[in-house]
Chains A and B, each alone.
Chain A
Amino acid sequence: MQSLPLKPPRSRIHAADLSADEFAAVEAALGAHRGRPGALLPILHAIQDVLGWIPPGAVALVAQDLNQTRAEVHGVVSFYHHFRSTRPGRHVVRLCRAEACQALGARALEAHAKRALGIDFHQTTADGAITLEPVYCLGNCGCGPSLLVDADELHARVTPDAFDALVRRARGNGA
């Protein structure tokens, strides 16, 4: 995509909002996807896959690159539950709240998880280890309750004890 002639150099106006690593991640995402039809979601995924979230400074950078307004890009980021506008903990635990898991005790597991971690959904434990998020179905409906740790670690038939063990392991892992 062509740059508009009056566009100021993006490094000058936005570098202050982003760390060098964050800036590099956004540049890489734009470089990989900007020419594709409907490029915004692939770009946002690529940023979050690397950084774990979409920093506010990235929104301005992406908007400028795609010739969209910041409001448009912010509107997309905030519409989708998957995209985070705050930095997550070292591990993200996504707990299924949907009916098939409810039929096997997901409501009790949810209450246990919030109590054990001392946080509500969309919050991060004080030690920065765990972010708890709700998810509405992981497609593991034959053997719930289900949860997903980070990108692809799916767990089935999760009991409160199994949840505690998962959390202990995640904390032990550090990063």
Chain B
Amino acid sequence: MNTSVRVHVSCDASALALGAGAIAQAIVAEADARGVAVELVRTGTRGLLWLEPLVEVVTPVGRVAYGPVTVADVRALFDADFLRGGAHASRLGAIEQHPFFARQQRLTFARVGLVDPRSVEDYVAHGGYRGLRNALAMESSDIVQAVIDSGLRGRGGAAFPTGIKWKTVHDAAASPPSALGSESSKYIVCNADEGDSGTFSDRMLMEGDPFCLIEGMTIAGLAVGAEQGYIYLRSEYPHAHRALEAALANARAAGWLGADVHGSGRRFELEVRLGAGAYICGEETSLLDSLEGKRGQVRFKPPLPAIKGLFGRPTVINNVISFASVPIILERGATYYRDYGVGRSRGTLPIQLAGNLKYTGLVELAFGVSLRELLYDYGGGSYSGRPIRAVQVGGPLGAYLPESQFDTPLDYEAFSAVGAMLGHGGIVAFDDTVDLFEQARYAMEFCAVESCGKCTPCRIGSTRGVEVLDRIGAGIERAKNLALLDDLCETMRHGSLCALGGLTPDPVVSALKHFPEDFAARTAGAGG
């Protein structure tokens, strides 16, 4: 064979954790031993995590996938002529036709798992930078209007309309750079501090299609007149860090970033900054303080970051997926994007299936799909084979939902109507071995560990919450302590400065409301 066959193996962190690195090495070694020319391409993951390590071979009839592949399978795959799509027990055919994938609506994640995340050329060949090209020919106010018209709402969890935020920054007066250490009069900041358990879509996108985020942030810079952007990335994501640094260097070298973006005469610079393991820095004002080199403590609002943000300048701060949804809106138009979804939740949501599910991974769908469809049709039920008893949606501050609420559609308003929160789209399933008392206690404990300490309800309330729950668990003055817990949760909900203290009661109260049987005294106590 004189032309080499392209073989794709993921370099996504989850795929690596499941052994993709060893598979890639084994394929190269076996190809060398057999004198076969193989071009190994490391991509992101397709998001079917139970099939990782997944190997895709580019054949004349399209990509043929094999998975999950073990190192012991590699020799047999060569024997089976997998480089031409040969038959093997792990052969899956085309991933696009896999039931988990075929019904998805991949707009934001269209390229993840498909392209080489380090290659600008590959990105452009798969439709990348079309949105930015369009934006460069538009008035800044028209870019902002397109984002408003698309109906895009912040994907980080708060669901604030992205375009409105951009308009505020667009309309804010740009002050001249001062000696305060700021080099730009307005800023674009990406919140890549994806700290919610059960969420990994930001990570997947940054590792699998980082140029999409870079393009979205560049468009934001054009829209509001900012020349400097920062990606605030959590330090727990070393693989995403490497992927972003490589992509930024390549985008700069190809003229898509820097003093003259794609020959337009417009400047946009972008830099990655690492967080340092503080959940609170996912809160936007804490994040800004952290970027400024301080303790990540929550700021009072107003002023909003859009008026007075990073280094006191007007700042657009959005989640990774919010920015990554912008290129397709500018490429295909606001209507194209808005036509997906229901009610006031427009477009698609990259949903993450996590925890105790058989088929976990990324499912991008228009808003409106029910939790039950996701848990059973996509997720295949529990990983353990036991009944699913509770589901937590929206991270550690999200409510625990019982089976009676599994028909709730994924829609921001529908979730708030049942006292829950869609958040960043993470779904964590628990089987019937879960102890909701322990989960409620953990919610308070987590808040105590991660509180920034600025406001009393969160800082002290969370520690008192653990103590009150421990007394309930020990059967000490039960009625009195349940009333106290209720009162404490009310105080935290209404008296906290930000969502950490304000929403920690949600998992606690929902656990108690829907699973009261778990709150019976677990050790012999005084009763009450």
Contacts and interface: CB of A to CB of B under 8 A. Distances in A.
A107 B355 CA distance: 13
How many chain B residues sit at the interface, stated as a range, is 35 or more
Contact of A80 (B13, B277, B355): B277
Contacts of A37: 181-183, 292, 311
Interface string A71-100: 000011001111100000000000000111
Contacts of A41: 273-276, 290-291, 293
B276 A38 contact: no
Interface stretch (B22-30, B191-199, B214-222): B191-199
Given A79-B296, A80-B296, A141 B197 contact: yes
Interface in B267-316: 273-279, 290-296, 311
Interface in B304-362: 311, 352-357, 360-361
Contacts of A148: 236
A112 interface: no
B285 to A, nearest CB: 14
A39 B273 CA distance: 10
Interface in B1-46: 13-14, 16-18
Contacts of B360: 141-143
Nearest to B290: A41
Interface stretch (B87-95, B253-261, B428-436): B428-436
A137 B197 contact: yes
Contacts of A125: none
Given A38-B292, A99-B428, A141-B355, A79 B197 contact: no
B49 to A, nearest CB: 4
Contacts of A156: 14, 17-18
Contacts of B275: 41, 80, 82
A93 to B, nearest CB: 14
B187 to A, nearest CB: 10
A38 B292 CA distance: 4
Contact of A79 (B235, B238, B295): B295
Contacts of B311: 37-38
Interface in B135-192: 181-183
A13 interface: no
A45 interface: yes
A137 B195 contact: yes
B197 A80 contact: no
B315 to A, nearest CB: 13
A157 to B, nearest CB: 8
B442 interface: yes
Interface size class of A (residues with CB under 8 A): 35 or more
A146 B197 contact: no
Nearest to A35: B181
B276 A82 contact: yes
A75 to B, nearest CB: 6
Contact of B276 (A44, A101, A136): A44
A140 interface: yes
Given A99-B396, A100-B428, A81 B203 contact: no
B514 to A, nearest CB: 16
A40 interface: yes
A127 B194 CA distance: 35
Given A38-B181, A100-B355, A141-B197, A151 B293 contact: no
Contacts of B273: 38, 41-42
A152 to B, nearest CB: 4
Contacts of B200: 139-142
A142 B238 contact: no
Given A37-B182, A100-B198, 18 more contacts: A38-B181, A41-B275, A41-B276, A42-B274, A45-B274, A76-B294, A80-B276, A81-B278, A82-B275, A83-B276, A103-B355, A107-B438, A138-B13, A141-B200, A141-B352, A143-B49, A152-B238, A154-B14
14 contacts: A37-B183, A39-B293, A79-B295, A80-B275, A81-B278, A99-B355, A99-B396, A135-B236, A137-B194, A140-B17, A141-B197, A141-B198, A142-B14, A144-B355
Interface of B: 13-14, 16-18, 49-50, 52, 181-183, 194-200, 202-203, 235-239, 273-279, 290-296, 311, 352-357, 360-361, 383, 392, 396, 426, 428-431, 434, 438-439, 442, 446, 449-450, 452
